[in-house]
Amino acid sequence: MQDMAEYALNISKADYTEIRIEKVFEQGIAFVNGEFKGIESNERKGFSIRIIKDNAMGFYFSNDFRKAKIKEGIEKAIKMAVTRKRHKINLSEEKMEEGEDIVKGKEESIDKKIDYLKDIDKIASGYSRSIFYNDELMEKYYANSEGARIYSKLPRISLHYLITVSNGRVEQMSREFGNSGGWEMVKEWNVVEHIKHDINFLKKLIKEGKKAPRKGSVILSPYITGLIAHESCGHPFEADRIMGREAAQAGKSFVKPSFIGKKYADENVSIVDDPTIKKSYGYYKYDDEGVKARRRYLIKNGIVNEFLHNRETAYEMGVKSNSAARASYGKEPIVRMANTYFMPGSYTLEEMIEDIKEGVYMKTYVEWNIDDRRYNQKYVGEEAYIIKNGEINGIAYHPVIEITTPKLYNSIDAVGNELKFYPATCGKGDPMQGIPVTTGGVNLRLREARIK
């Protein structure tokens, strides 16, 4: 890998050159209603070159590893960059890292993996169900003309299931598990317990689900607040959205550069995005521009503290990169989140509930969406409970919160003390780049929300 990278950097006549060599081995196993659907494996190895020439940017990818192809790629990227009048692109000055990041993960044989999935599947026999398992090992060497030289090796593992329970009505529950690491992470997921719980809950939901009150306080669990932190804080704080680079695809942001230092949320709210959390699904030590990863304090005590930047947006806004450049295999590095979550406060769940006269506790969701400016969002509860006079008082049937971002963040009157993380795959860029992230956080209580 290193030899090819040095060759590329030596022959390039661009003002700035970077090369990313990636080797990925992926394996996927699917079970549908107890039937094993076979194994799919991907072995990919390719190089991505990004150059800047006369302040214009070009990108080239190939999986043909001949030196002649690397030379052709650099020449093409330069030619593409200088064709016409373009955006003037500069990168912020940063300390370029040299180092490596090797994460070890326990390997397991294919028959053991299949046995494990069979065991899980058995728990849900009698119900419609699908189970998708995936693991991957990614090796990457990154080098640029400013001195960055980084080798990383990172295993990831994930599982997703969908269970359908029908009894007059049809209800579904889906869950995702995922970590950086290997087979050792599977034990921590407790998938069997989750499936048992979900089947029991769905049966009860069909039988006992009641309409939620139309208005009241709402407690949202970390399963939902993680998604909220990701969707209506992380995304609108991506500087490339704010600057309009994603306007035709992943969208814009209602957040403006002038929001820095202004109030965004209740003062008890702080949100961070932290790539350095070991074992997390969104973990990385160095970003895809050679910058060492660090925690980003997006909101500090309700105030907008910093946006997410790569070197391009950092230069445009006159700040430093905060190591948010990430690229999917064979794609350009763009501004991405890693592990985004609400920081813990002091409330226990019981304390939050006991203060509520009437309201809802939403533990999981089944549907959500948000506009491209990240202003109007909707969450539909799956496992949800009615609260009356400080106590849980039955199951709520799909309560819906449809709320604007300012209203949501300024309605938070209690922040929980127990931090939990959930994996997700975030989509952005064009062509689409799905990237592993963690959403997470704590229980939050919204006062006087409209419930549908």
Partner 1 sequence: MIEYALKIIMKNGMEGIVKEDNIKNKQVRFYNGRIGIIKEWDDKTMNIFMAKGSKTVSIELDNPSKRKIEETIEKNKKLMKLLSSSEFYGIEKNKKYKNNKIFDKDVLKNEKMISIAEESINYGGKAGIVFSSINKTIIANTNGIMEKDKNSLCYLSVRSFYKNSSCHEVSCSRSIKNVDAGVTSVAHEMAKKGIKAKKGKEGRYNVIFSPLAFANLISNVATFYSAFYVDAGYSFLTEKIGEKVASEKISIYDSGIAEDGMASSKFDDEGIATQKTTIIKNGILKNYIHNSTTAHKYKTRSTGNAGIVAPQPWNTIVLHGNSNFDEMVDEIKEGILITNLWYTRFHNYRAGDFSSVARDVAFYIKNGEMIPIKNIRVSDNMERILKNVEMLSKETKQIFWWEVENPVFTPYAMVRDVRITTS
CA 46/CA 64 separation, integer angstroms = 7
Q: How near is the Cβ of 40 to partner 1 at its closest, in Å?
A: 4
d(CA 196, CA 199): 5
Instruction: Give the residue with the Cβ less far from partner 1, 416 or 429.
Output: 429
Q: Which of 14, 19, 70, 77 is close enough to bind partner 1 by CB under 8 A? A: 77
Q: How far is the CB of 301 from partner 1 (least distance, A)?
A: 25
Residues in 253-292 that interact with partner 1 by CB under 8 A? none
Binding mask 218-237 for partner 1 (x = CB under 8 A): --------------------
**Closer CB to partner 1, residue 367 or residue 448?**
367
Burial category of 29 from C-beta neighbours within 10 Å (exposed 0-12, middle 13-18, buried 19 and up): buried
User: Which residue in 15, 75, 76, 419 binds partner 1 (CB under 8 A)?
Assistant: 76
Measured distance CA(113)–CA(124) in Å, rounded: 18
Residue with Cβ nearer partner 1 (3 or 43): 43
The correct pick among 90, 128, 301, 364 for binding partner 1 (CB under 8 A) is 128
Q: How far is the CB of 444 from partner 1 (least distance, A)?
A: 18
Instruction: Figure out which of the listed residues 3, 10, 83, 258 binds partner 1, where binding follows CB under 8 A.
Output: 83
Which span (96-104, 110-118, 274-282, 318-326) binds partner 1, by CB under 8 A? 110-118
Taking the CA atoms of 116, 120, 123 and 128 in sequence, report the sign of the dihedral they define: negative
Distances (CA, A) of 362 to 224, 226, 298, 382, 396: 8, 13, 25, 7, 9
Residues β-bridged to residue 414: 445
**What binding mask, one character per residue, do residues 3-32 give for partner 1 by CB under 8 A, x or -?**
---------------------------x-x
* Binding of partner 1 by 114 (CB under 8 A): yes
Strand partners, 137: 25, 155
Contact string (CB under 8 A) for partner 1, positions 31-70, x = contact: -xx-xxxxxxxxxxxx----------xxxxxxxxx---x-
Binders of partner 1 in range 163-182 (CB under 8 A)? 163-164, 166, 170-172
Q: Are 125 and 30 in contact (CB under 8 A)?
A: no
**Interacting positions 364-383 with partner 1 (CB under 8 A):** 366-372, 375-378, 380, 382
Q: Please identify, among the stretches 96-104, 279-287, 339-347, 395-403, the one whose residues bind partner 1 according to the rule CB under 8 A.
A: 395-403
Smallest gap from residue 313 Cβ to partner 1 (A): 12
Q: Closest approach of Cβ 197 to partner 1, in Å?
A: 18
| Residue from the set 4, 55, 80, 394 that interacts with partner 1 by CB under 8 A | 80
Write out the binding residues for partner 1, residues 132-161 only, by CB under 8 A: none
* Min separation Cβ 164 and partner 1, Å: 4
Nearest residue to 108 (alpha-carbon basis) of 42, 29, 35: 29
Shortest CB 368 distance to partner 1, Å: 6
Taking the complex as a whole, how short is the minimal distance between the CB of residue 175 and partner 1, in angstroms?
14
Size of the site for partner 1 (CB under 8 A): 86
Q: Which is nearer to partner 1, 218 or 353 (CB)?
A: 218
Q: Which of residues 183-212 bind partner 1 (CB under 8 A)?
A: none
Footprint of partner 1 on 289-348 (CB under 8 A): 330, 332
